[in-house]
Amino acid sequence: MQDLISKLQKKEARLGVLGLGYVGLPLAVGFAKAGFKVTGFDLDQAKVDQVNACESYIIDISNAELAETVGSGNLTATTDFSKLSDVDSVNICVPTPLGKTRDPDITYIQAAVGSIAECMHSGMLIVLESTTYPGTTEEVIMPLLEEKGFKVGEDFFLAFSPERVDPGNPTFNTINIPKVVGGVTANCTEVARNLYGQVMETVVPVSSVRVAETVKLLENTFRSVNIGLVNEIALMCSAMDIDVWEVIEGAATKPFGFMPFYPGPGLGGHCIPIDPFYLSWKAKLAGSEARFIDLAGQVNGAMPKHVIKLVTRGLNEHRKAVNGSKVLVVGVAYKSGIDDMRESPALDILEMLSERGAETSWHDPHVPSLPGGINGTRVPEMTPEVVAGFDAVVIVTTHAEVDHEMLLDKGPIVIDTRNALKGHVSKNLIKL
């Protein structure tokens, strides 16, 4: 153990990062910038080639950062998993989606651990960063590694550290977000603390790996439930003809005991719509109910349908049907300023509009194309003339580059799900 800690402190340890996506690439770059020799592993040859060619595909990492780290020889990427034999430490950053029945799908984690097990050697540190249910590290990963004849806490060190990165956030990044770490044994926590301590500004050790796993799920459940609450309040306000946005603004002037959350067209991204169900699945196995999680899931999951109701109402007021109307969806990424469309409510909205016979189009300055199976014509340039040709415009995600006011001037009906047109009153404007 002391050998590995000493290598980490001198930055002589060789680090591996498995999975070079939104989480793994910034982590690998962070380690490499701090002076470690880092190998990034991914199954996706295109990503590996792009990293080695210093072409970033992640918003938070610039080409210059890749040029610096790849150029100095501190970062290389590969699809050759046999090179895991050369590393002293591996961080696992692979996807953790939900399966068709909305149960956790940890097959990516199992495959990643399978690759590590093939190349396992004494004195290795393995840290899982993928969000998952409490118990995954000890119940799934540990046995896969121990069956190779190694003893956790003695021959290898195993920990969980939740990834809290917020893509596109200009203030908080992989390095300055406090890093929670929990090991399977005290030795495991200590070794992992020494890895992150070389790079992260603040490391927060917790007493167990299960606590570390649950920290992340609490954080994202907190967001999901509060967004669910405010979405329900928005529906109530809409029924009573009260402006929910003004209500929130008023409430947010309270200097204590209130934190504003905002309603919207539905949850998106790889975290908030998914992670709480990892917790509720495991809690149910332990005989515990997860009523808030289930209810928030229902309320948030119904928001895209509510948006369709608003489109229908708006068109109806103009004696039009959804069937045959030209509808433009503005903003298809799941949040402002990024290109990520995973779980984006815009995709559900486009699909439902199309099912109802609308002629769908979309505009998003960050997104070049829609995922397969979603109908919609791309509007690359949103000029007043182009906008005037639509029957309805739905603002789903705002981006700083988009002139929303122009939509109100030119679009016959505007459904604003984000309060982008704050302060405007018009018979053509329908707010969430």
Selection from 320, 330, 332, 356 nearest residue 410 by Cα: 330
Q: How far is the CB of 278 from ligand NAD (least distance, A)?
A: 9
Query: Judged by CB under 6 A, which stretch of 67-75, 92-100, 256-264, 328-336 contacts ligand NAD?
Result: 92-100
Q: How far is the CB of 44 from ligand NAD (least distance, A)?
A: 4
Contact between 112 and ligand NAD by CB under 6 A: the answer reads: yes
57-60 — which CB contacts under 8 Å span 24+ positions?
A: 57/25, 58/21, 58/22, 58/25, 58/26, 58/167, 59/167, 59/168, 59/337, 59/338, 59/339, 60/22, 60/26, 60/165, 60/167, 60/168, 60/173, 60/174
Q: How far is the CB of 163 from ligand NAD (least distance, A)?
A: 4
Amino acid identity at 81: F
Task: Single out the residue of 4, 15, 90, 94 in contact with ligand NAD (rule: CB under 6 A).
Answer: 94
Contact between 278 and ligand NAD by CB under 6 A: the answer reads: no
Give whole-number Cα distances, 98 to 55, 105, 333, in Å.
30, 5, 20
Report the C-alpha gap between 160 and 169 in whole angstroms: 24
Task: Single out the residue of 34, 43, 117, 229 in contact with ligand NAD (rule: CB under 6 A).
Answer: 43
Q: Which is nearer to ligand NAD, 39 or 361 (CB)?
A: 39
Tell the residue number behind the tokens 């005989």, with chain if given: 287
Q: Which is nearer to ligand NAD, 132 or 238 (CB)?
A: 132
Contact between 134 and ligand NAD by CB under 6 A: the answer reads: no
Residues 333-362 that bind ligand NAD (CB under 6 A): none
Q: How far is the CB of 41 from ligand NAD (least distance, A)?
A: 5
Report the C-alpha gap between 89 and 191 in whole angstroms: 10
Annotation says 271 is catalytic: yes
Provide the 8-state DSSP code for 12: -
Torsion of CA 260, 266, 270, 271, to 10 degrees: 40
# binding residues, ligand NAD (CB under 6 A):
27
Task: For 360-422, give the DSSP string.
Answer: EEEE-TT-S-PPTT---EE-SS--HHHHHT-SEEEE-S--TT--HHHHHHH-SSEEESS-TTT
With beta carbons less than 8 A apart as the criterion, state whether 307 and 394 touch: yes
| Total number of residues shown for the chain | 432
Q: Which is nearer to ligand NAD, 215 or 392 (CB)?
A: 215
Contact between 95 and ligand NAD by CB under 6 A: the answer reads: yes
Give whole-number Cα distances, 128 to 44, 65, 85, 125, 157, in Å.
20, 25, 18, 10, 11
Report the C-alpha gap between 151 and 122 in whole angstroms: 9
Site string for ligand NAD, 6-25 (x = CB under 6 A): ------------xxxxxxx-
Q: Which is nearer to ligand NAD, 169 or 323 (CB)?
A: 169
Contact between 44 and ligand NAD by CB under 6 A: the answer reads: yes
Determine the residue with CB nearest ligand NAD.
21
Q: How far is the CB of 6 from ligand NAD (least distance, A)?
A: 29
With beta carbons less than 8 A apart as the criterion, state whether 76 and 119 touch: no
Contact between 69 and ligand NAD by CB under 6 A: the answer reads: no
Tell the residue number behind the tokens 């046999």, with chain if given: 82
Report the C-alpha gap between 29 and 38 in whole angstroms: 8
Residues 283-342 that bind ligand NAD (CB under 6 A): none
Contact between 93 and ligand NAD by CB under 6 A: the answer reads: yes
Task: Single out the residue of 31, 36, 108, 133 in contact with ligand NAD (rule: CB under 6 A).
Answer: 108
Query: Judged by CB under 6 A, which stretch of 7-15, 104-112, 178-186, 374-382 contacts ligand NAD?
Result: 104-112
Contact between 141 and ligand NAD by CB under 6 A: the answer reads: no
Contact between 120 and ligand NAD by CB under 6 A: the answer reads: no
Using a 10 angstrom Cβ sphere, with 0-12 exposed, 13-18 middle and 19 or more buried, the burial of residue 98 is middle
Task: For 144-156, give the DSSP string.
Answer: HHHTTT--BTTTE
Q: Which of 93, 188, 237, 271 is catalytic?
A: 271
Q: Which is nearer to ligand NAD, 12 or 139 (CB)?
A: 139
Q: How far is the CB of 97 from ligand NAD (least distance, A)?
A: 8
Contact between 282 and ligand NAD by CB under 6 A: the answer reads: no
Task: Single out the residue of 96, 137, 398, 417 in contact with ligand NAD (rule: CB under 6 A).
Answer: 96
| Token pair belonging to 61 | 């990492």
Residues that bind ligand NAD (CB under 6 A): 18-24, 41-44, 47, 93-96, 108, 111-112, 130-131, 163-165, 167, 270-271
Active site residue ranges: 271
